[in-house]
Copies of this chain bind each other. A is one copy, B any other.
Amino acid sequence: MKSLSIKDIAVKANVSITTVSFIINGKAKEKSISEAVIEKVKKIIEESGYKPNQIARSLRTGNSNIIGLIIEDISNSFFSRIARLIEDKAYKRGYKIIYSSTENNIDKAKELINMFKSRKVDAYIISPIKGIEEDIQMLLDDGNPVILFDRNLPDINTSYVGADHFNASYQSIQNFIDQGKKNIALVTTDINVEQIIERYDGYKKALEDNGIKYDDNLVLKIHFNQDESDTIAQIKELFENKKIDAVLFVTNYLAISGLKALKQIDKKVGDDFAVIAYDDHEAFELHTPRISAIQQPLEEIAETIIKLILSRLSSKGKLPAEEVIIPTRLVLRD
């Protein structure tokens, strides 16, 4: 069964295709189509269930009402929640979102950008990785709105929305120190990405400002794509062999692995072993004792991203790049 085209509607209504098109696009008034014709055509469209072919529309107009969202991994709750919020907000403004995960793989990221490009998405929201600067620059050169989020790319001059990773980290460490902790570990990853580096810098600076010597042995860098069992083993080793009284996990999945490790070596989180995780997670609230976490204001991040995108989409000229740094919230538990 072939689906209806604008031509079928035009024939049925005994008017031209142009007229139908004007009516569909709300230009009937402006183009002085008579009330009678408008009514008639609308009625036929209604009854027949005709929906314009978006592909033809895109081909003609050059835009798709689709925003491409490129993230690290949709199965990570930080991203899936952000994605959901963005989708929701975009949807309300008539935009659809296509999303896809890079898995921190440069080639996949490049391919995704190409695929979005060839599908003519109207704008890009990207949580970038190092190595795709050129591709992003090309998008910008072609005049596409691009918003980076979560992690910035220093060489790229475009808008960015992200949490204040440095201060979040700094405050957490300061909090440990205020509690009298002296041997503070950091469990981080080896992906070379702005926001992870900032979290690391915050850790270092806080120690420094408090006159505590930075000790490389207390910093564990986990390889990104490794098996969780290996991660747990490495963390166990750290906790068993070093004198540690507090630890900051730089992502929530690392914290989860860390808590599993603690369980296995039967070490309890409590007064003499403090834990803070970056990015909250349901498990933390439920854990005994409850685990403190740095919350990123997802709602606000999503809202800001959408605002920036939409303003760029509606303005003719290029708007200057904006950097929005959103403060985090340290939720202390138990």
Contact = CB atoms under 8 A, between A and B. Distances in A.
Interface of A: 1, 3, 51-56, 58-59, 64, 73-75, 77, 80-81, 83-84, 87, 96-101, 114-115, 117-120, 141-143, 256, 259-260, 263, 281-283, 285-288
18 contacts: A51-B114, A52-B118, A53-B59, A53-B118, A54-B115, A54-B118, A54-B119, A54-B120, A55-B59, A55-B120, A75-B83, A87-B100, A98-B98, A256-B282, A256-B286, A283-B286, A283-B287, A286-B287
How many copies of the chain does the oligomer comprise? Answer: 2
A254 to B, nearest CB: 12
Contact of A83 (B55, B74, B141): B74
A229 B87 CA distance: 25
Nearest to A75: B84
Contact of A115 (B74, B96, B143): B96
A10 to B, nearest CB: 18
A273 to B, nearest CB: 15
A120 B53 contact: yes
Contacts of A118: 51-55
Contacts of A55: 55, 58-59, 64, 118-120
The 8 closest A-B pairs by CB, nearest first: A283-B283, A75-B84, A80-B80, A54-B118, A288-B288, A75-B81, A55-B58, A51-B118
A119 to B, nearest CB: 5
Contacts of A75: 77, 80-81, 83-84
Nearest to A62: B55
A189 to B, nearest CB: 18
Nearest to A287: B286
Contacts of A285: 260
A26 to B, nearest CB: 17
Contacts of A281: 282-283
B74 A84 contact: yes
Given A51-B118, A117-B51, A101 B77 contact: no
A105 B92 CA distance: 14
Contacts of A64: 55
Contacts of A286: 256, 259-260, 263, 283, 286-287
Contact of A96 (B56, B87, B100, B256): B100
Contacts of A58: 55
A59 B281 CA distance: 44
A192 to B, nearest CB: 23
Contacts of A59: 53, 55-56, 59
Contact of A282 (B1, B99, B119, B283): B283
Contacts of A80: 74-75, 77, 80
Contacts of A56: 59
Nearest to A283: B283
A256 B282 CA distance: 8
Given A3-B117, A54-B118, A55-B59, 18 more contacts: A1-B142, A51-B114, A51-B118, A53-B118, A54-B119, A55-B120, A73-B84, A75-B84, A87-B101, A96-B115, A97-B100, A99-B99, A256-B286, A259-B286, A260-B286, A281-B282, A282-B283, A283-B283
